[in-house]
Structure 1
Amino acid sequence: MLLRCWLALLVALIPAASSTNAGVKVRLTEKGIEYGKLLGMAVLQTKLKSIKVPDISGSESVSPIGKVQYSLTNMQITNIGLPKSEVDLVPGSGVKLSIGDGYISLNGNWRVKYLRFIKDSGSFDLSVNGLTITTSIAIKSDETGRPAVSSVNCAATVGSAKVKFHGGASWLYNLFGSFIDDALRNALQKQICPLVANTVSDFNTHLKTLNVVAKVDKYAEFEYSMVSSPIISNSSIDLSLKGEFYNIGKHQEPPFSPKAFSLPPQINSMLYIGMSAFTANSAAFVYDKAGALSLYITDDMIPKGSPFRLNTKTIGTFIPQIAQKFPGLMMKLLVKMVKNPIITFEPNNVTIQATATVTAYAIQPNSTLSPLFVLNLDTSVSANVFVSGMKLAASVTLNKMDLTLGTSYVGQFQVRSLDNMLQMFLKVVVIPQLNAKLGKGYPLPTIGKMKLVNAQLQILKDYVLIGTDVQFTG
């Protein structure tokens, strides 16, 4: 199970016709490939233990006895070892698996008949040495757009086989053991490549767990399909993924495209994931289209100890005409984005620029809303981005804000007088709600029960880089 998940990640290389730039890039390093090899050998070793050696029978002439009929039955593998193995990347091609100096031990029963009427039986042990296996892994796309793998050009050889008989006339079998050695070696060789092919084919079940499209919430889903063929070097595999948010049920492209970016040389971790500013901005586009970037602020959302209350009495201290025209009423604010927020990544800094309107209403006794004024709000917030489980999450803090008057239904007033109060509303109401959403995180590309270990995050120019080791559980 562990290898299947890791190899599934290793070979998730869907060649695609599109040549658009990637929103997300993934790199598997030599360290990651070595981890996959260790898991792979354990799985393949278990698989080879399931070899079913068919019963073997025949006859040979043994001097001076003459013709001897024999049969070998109930053969079971008792031990198998694959001490030398390599997984090599073939630049521009794929993956090659090589195994050398393998060995297999098995036992079984023998039976013999000679001189027409003499019968005997016993047990035997077989030692197979010099087992070698080489195979290439071919990769293609299935009907769902996920990768599918198969074993091609498999070759398996058994260097030598030595059989030792026990019981009865075992001396007789030892006279023509070389014939039986050959028969057993050939029987084993015929089993190995089909088992390797079957093992590789089994990975396709796990490849289907790739979150090519991952649901985020009721508004958005995230697509991780490939946008170009993988770049395979001698030491790494680089994958280019779409990395784009979409409204659920409606894949509308945003009015901007991903910029080209390259992952820097890295060797310390198994896996590197680069998530671009395009990906973050596509999320902002999607949530804005869904109408999710608006919020009503009411007085019950403000801490009880705050000196600012959301009513016409408090606001009336800054805008007297409100207290005069609408005495003793509670108020409501509608904060609404007027265009997509812009998210930028600079070294060690993530900034979000947002333009919104703040519409103030007085709540009449019959619950109808009377508009008071509309403010134009330009804000800048800084984001702290971090890895949480298998998700990328964030939190934000307010840097600055600028207010201008858009429309007033109560006459002219000094907008600057509302700065402190509105900053308080943003800090204690809007930003905590935004952080609650951002804190839930957004899914990273995963396969099966994948776990990130010692994940480190850097903010670079135009993208976030995550370096991490990986473990598979279950």
Structure 2
Amino acid sequence: MFLFFWPALLALIPLSISVSPGVKVKLTQKGLEYGRQLGMASVQQKLKTLKVPDISGAEKVNPIGKVHYTLSNMKIMDVGLPQSEVDLVPGTGFRLAIGNAFISMNGNWKVKYLRLMKDHGSFDLTVKGLTITTSIAINSDETGRPTVSNLNCAATVGSASIKFHGGASWLYNLFNKFIDKGLRKALQQQICPLVADAVSDMNPKLKTLNVLAKVDQYAEIEYSMVSSPAVSTSSVDLSLKGEFYNIAKHQEPPFSPSAFALPPEVNDMLYIGVSSFTANSAAFVYSKAGVLSLYITDDMIPQGSPIRLNTRTFGAFVPQIAKQFPGLLMKLLVKTVKNPVITFEPNNVTIQTSGAVTAYAIQPNATLTPLFVLNLDSSVSARVFVSGMSLAGAVTLNKMDLTLGTSYVGEFQVRSLDNIFQMVLKLVVIPKLNAKLAKGYPLPTLGKMKLVNTQLQVLKDYMLIGTDVQFMG
């Protein structure tokens, strides 16, 4: 599975368009080593599919004369790959080298000599000193997904040793002398095509990269590549678009990603940097979709709360409400009026919102009578964490500021309503928001990829996720 894992994390090789990334990915040497370990099992299985052709010929053997021989029905029994290494090739991809490998097989033999003399039996054969070196290039297709291709391959077979069952001792000299060379040549001709097939077999798996990941009925995230990978001798740095879009219509926000660089971390296999641009593009999409609004009614307030959404409660602070609309339930509409602004500072994520709260009295015939409109500026802090293959969060209220926008019941002191609206935000609005945030937003992933031992830290203008990786199945 090496050829699956390594290009999988390079699944972020972009189309040549000049766009600043919202998300960056770094594959470290530790990740490369994990890929090598997985890859040996994949290469081993591929080599077990070698088809060894029958070998026949005729040679003169003293003092017997000409001997006609055939080795047939040769089957691979075992493949050993005790030594292997993988290296990055700056600007290209990577190189896989396998050394001191062996292949064990068995088959049947028969000979004919002196016209009428025949003999036959079985044999066990071990091919030793097998080496394979291959270079693999990584490119991207028209969808922004990666493709891999074999650049060059070299394979050599050191020697073959045969143990015969049945027959005379002179057979050893015949087979060791003449067949060893032919067998090695037959194997060498097949190994590199099998390696090329193994590389090509990865492309369907690489197409599982979630270049466009659906979030919900409103939004999706694009993870297409925006520049070529920066391959060094120790890591691969990749750039992804990392932008939320409205599913119905892709519209660019009125802001662009700011440059950021991942630190030279080496402890984990994989690092993912998610910029504040990505978070703010989500806020832009949901704000444009008109879904950052919420109607609040009294039945949404916990039963034990002394504060109710009715004209009696509000009349205690704004007497004219109780006088003009006695004994009525109320409804509140809370909505944003500007795109929320999300900022990342070390160990701190803050969301600033500018909104409006419209209060209505619910008439006996269910019509709504507006009472007042308040301007609501609020700040919340977010705790962000990785849940499965998603980035999730939860917010808490920092502060809020109320000012009067419009009153339909005369002048009143807005500050007297602070406690009511703090309660509404904490008991209704924020729990609703947290329920949404808890569902998470998909990270870039490939196939049955799993993050392990994940850590997240908030830095200036981006979040850094450090993680190990497992591929399941």
Please indicate the TM-score interval, normalised by the length of the shorter structure: over 0.9
User: How far, CA to CA, are the matches of 1:172 and 1:84 in structure 2?
Assistant: 33
Inter-CA distance 123–174: structure 2 relative to 1 (3 Å threshold): farther
1:145 counterpart letter in structure 2: G
1:155 equivalent in structure 2: 154
2:351 maps to 352
Is 1:267 the counterpart of 2:266 in the alignment? Answer: yes
Q: What residue is the counterpart of 1:146 in the other structure?
A: 145
Q: Cα distance, 1:3 vs. partner?
A: 3.6
Number of the residue aligned with 1:63: 62
Q: How many Å apart are 1:195 and its aligned residue?
A: 0.8
Per the normalisation by structure 1, the TM-score is 0.98
Deviations 1:409-458 (A, max 9, x none): 11111100000000000000000000000011111111111111110110
Taking the aligned partners of 1:130 and 1:176, their CA distance within structure 2 comes to 19
The code of the aligned residue for 1:310 comes to L
Query: Aligned to 1:217, what secondary structure does the other structure show?
Result: coil
Deviates more, 1:70-79 or 1:267-276: 70-79
| Comparing 373-382 and 120-129, the one that deviates more | 120-129
CA deviation profile, 1:216-237 (whole Å, cap 9, x unmatched): 0111001111110000111100
CA distance in 1 between partners of 2:366 and 2:14 (Å): 58
Q: Specify whether residues 173 and 69 from structure 1 end up closer, same or farther in structure 2 by C-alpha distance, changes over 3 A only.
A: farther
CA separation in 2, counterparts of 1:3 and 1:138?
A: 14
Shift of 1:163: 2.2
C-alpha distance in structure 2 between counterparts of 1:449 and 1:175, whole Å: 52
Contact 1:56 1:72 in 2 (8 A): yes
- Structure 1 residue 346: deviation in Å? 0.2
Match of 1:178 in 2: 177
State the 1:248 CA deviation: 0.6
Secondary structure at the residue paired with 2:208? coil
Any idea what the Cα deviations from partners look like across 1:230-264, whole Å, max 9, x if unmatched? 00111100000000000113110000000000001
1:282-321 pair list within 5 angstroms? 282-321=281-320
Q: Partner letter of residue 148 of structure 1?
A: T
Q: Distance in 1 between matches of 2:336 and 2:54?
A: 76
2:339 is matched with which residue? Answer: 340
Equivalent position SS for 2:249: coil
Q: Where does 1:34-113 land on structure 2 (aligned, <5 Å)?
A: 34-113=33-112
Q: Which runs of structure 2 are paired with 1:452-463 in the superposition (5 Å)?
A: 452-463=451-462
CA contact (8 A) 2:14 2:240 kept: no
Q: Alignment partner of 2:201: what SS?
A: helix
Q: Aligned residue for 1:280?
A: 279
1:30 alignment counterpart: 29
- Matches of 1:37 and 1:351 in 2, distance apart? 41
- In structure 1, the partner of 2:363 is 364
> Which has the higher mean CA deviation after the structures are superposed, 255-264 or 2-11?
2-11
Q: Distance in 1 between matches of 2:83 and 2:463?
A: 38
Give the letter for the 1:468 counterpart.
Answer: T
Q: Is the 8 A contact 1:7 1:203 kept in 2?
A: no
Residue 417 of structure 1 pairs with residue 416 of structure 2: yes
Q: Deviations over 1:249-303 (max 9, x none)?
A: 3110000000000001101110000000000000000111111100001000000
**Residue type at the aligned position of 2:395:** V
Per the TM alignment, residue 54 of structure 1 is displaced from its structure 2 partner at its CA by 1.2
CA distance in 2 between partners of 1:250 and 1:98 (Å): 47
CA drift of 1:84 comes to 1.3
Question: Which has the larger displacement, 47-56 or 291-300?
Answer: 47-56
3-state secondary structure, aligned to 1:136: strand
Structure 1 vs Structure 2: percent identity of aligned residues? 75
1:7 CA drift (Å): 2.5
Distance 1:41 1:210 in 2: 23
2: distance between equivalents of 1:255 and 1:138? Answer: 37
Unaligned runs of 5+ residues in structure 1 are none
Q: How many residues align?
A: 473
Letter in 1 for 2:76: I
8 Å contact 2:393–2:438 — kept in the other structure?
Answer: yes
CA distance in 2: counterparts of 1:172 and 1:397, whole angstroms: 84
* Cα distance per residue 1:314-367 (max 9 Å; x no partner): 111111111111111111000010010000000000000000000001111111
**Residues 15 and 142 in structure 2, CA contact (< 8 A), matched pair in contact too:** no
Q: Where does residue 382 of structure 1 map in the other structure?
A: 381
Deviations 1:34-72 (A, max 9, x none): 000010011101111111111111111112222211111
SS in 2 for 1:367: coil
Query: 1:144 offset after TM fit, Å?
Result: 2.6
- The answer as to whether partners of 1:8 and 1:447 remain within 8 angstroms in 2 is no
CA distance in 2, matches of 1:72, 1:449: 44
Measured after TM superposition, the shift of residue 113 of structure 1 is 0.8
Matching of residues 11-26 of structure 1 within 5 Å: 11-26=10-25
Q: Residues 311 and 59 from structure 1, CA distance in 2 versus in 1: closer, same or farther, beyond 3 angstroms?
A: same
**C-alpha displacement at 1:150, in angstroms?**
1.5
Q: After superposition, what is the alpha-carbon deviation per residue over 1:9-51, rounded to whole angstroms, capped at 9, x for unaligned?
A: 2332423222221100000101000000010011101111111
Distance 1:169 1:54 in 2: 24
Inter-partner Cα distance in structure 1 for 2:295 and 2:3: 49
| Aligned residue in 2 for 1:199 | 198
Read off the aligned partner of 1:239 and give its amino acid letter. L
Q: How much has 1:5 moved relative to structure 2?
A: 4.1
TM-superposed CA distance for 1:125, in Å, is 1.8
How much does 1:145 deviate? 2.4
RMSD: 1.2
Task: Work out the CA distance in 2 between the residues paired with 1:15 and 1:296.
Answer: 43
What letter matches 2:322 in structure 1? A
CA distance in 2, matches of 1:170, 1:70: 15
Range with greater deviation from structure 2 (8-17 or 132-141): 8-17
Q: How many angstroms does 1:166 deviate by?
A: 2.1
Query: Are the equivalent residues in 2 in contact too, given 1:145–1:225 (CA < 8 A)?
Result: yes
SS at match of 1:313: helix
Is the 1:81–1:103 contact (alpha carbons within 8 Å) kept by the matching residues of 2? yes
Counterpart-to-counterpart distance in 2, 1:445 and 1:10: 10
Q: How many angstroms apart in 2 are the aligned matches of 1:264 and 1:142?
A: 29
Q: Which runs of 5+ in 2 are unaligned?
A: none
Aligned residue for 1:439?
Answer: 438
Letter in 2 for 1:264: P
Question: What is the alpha-carbon distance in structure 1 between the residues aligned to residue 370 and residue 471 of structure 2?
Answer: 57
Alpha-carbon distance, 1:181 to partner: 0.5
